[in-house]
Structure formats: structure tokens, C-alpha cells
Amino acid sequence: MGEAVTADIILALLSTDNEIRSSAEKKYEELDAKTKFVVLFERLSAPESLAVEGRQLCAVLLRQVFTVDFQKLFSELGADQERFKLQCLETLHREQDKTVRKKLGDMVAEVAQNLIDDDGIIDGQSSSSSSSKRQPQEMQT
């Protein structure tokens, strides 16, 4: 499915017309995770491409994609993983609308949560250097 068609689906998801929105929801669900990721992230990275409501929706939908398919999608980025993380933070920093910025913050938090392993180490850091610096502290009651 072409990028323009996919962008049209995003706009149709915002429609107040139930038929249009329902049709768009069906088409959106038919998209594979990678297509959703690419289109949603591109729209968020280019804020002029959508109005505030569209950017909010993209951030929410992208967070949902990350909740289900993050590890697969992130591993497919290969050498672009660092650039992706940086672009997430830049998009958050650049956003002017408070509501969109909150949704982007939720999305960035989802990315961070998926990059932290069970030991609290961010993916990509060496275990030996991080473990000595980042020992969990016990809660005092």
C-alpha cells in the first residue's frame, strides 16, 4: 500500500463520519506493523504534514505498535537504531503543542521501557560498566 494511501487512512481515522472512520479502521488493521511504524513515525517527524489532532493520533497509534512489535521493528532498523532513538527525542523536543508533546512523551517512554532489560540496563550499554554504576537501591520503609 502506498505511503499517500496510508496517510489518507490516518486522516480518515479522524473523521466524524462513522462510515469513513470504520472503513479507515479496517484498512489500518490490515497494514503490517512495519508499514504502520514507517508511516506514523514519518508523520510525527514532519509536524507540518498533519494538524495537531493527526499528530496526537499518530503518537498514540505508534505507541500501540511499539507495545506489540517493538523488538522486531527495532531489530530490523539495524545500524539505524541510534538514529531512531535520537530522532524520537528530537521530535519530542521540537513539538510545540502541549498535548501532542505529552503523547510523544508516552511514545518515547514506551521506547525506553522496551530498551531496558530486566537488570535495568539500557540496550546497547555494556553490562560490566553499567552494573557497577546502576545498582538498584532498596526502598527504606
So what's the pLDDT on residue 47?
Answer: 79
pLDDT digits (tens, 9 = 90+) for 59-78: 999 999 999 999 999 999 99
∠115-50-18 over CA atoms, to 5°?
A: 100
Q: Which residues contact 58 (CB under 8 A, 6 or more apart)?
A: 10, 40, 43, 44, 50
Distance CA 46, CA 12 (A): 19
Q: How far is CA 34 from the centre of its chain?
A: 12
Q: What is the pTM of this model?
A: 0.79
Distance between first and last Cα of the chain? 56
The pLDDT profile of the chain, 141 residues, written as one tens digit per residue, is 556 667 789 899 999 999 999 999 999 999 999 999 999 999 998 878 889 999 999 999 999 999 999 999 999 999 999 999 999 999 999 999 999 999 999 999 999 999 987 566 666 544 444 444 444 444 444
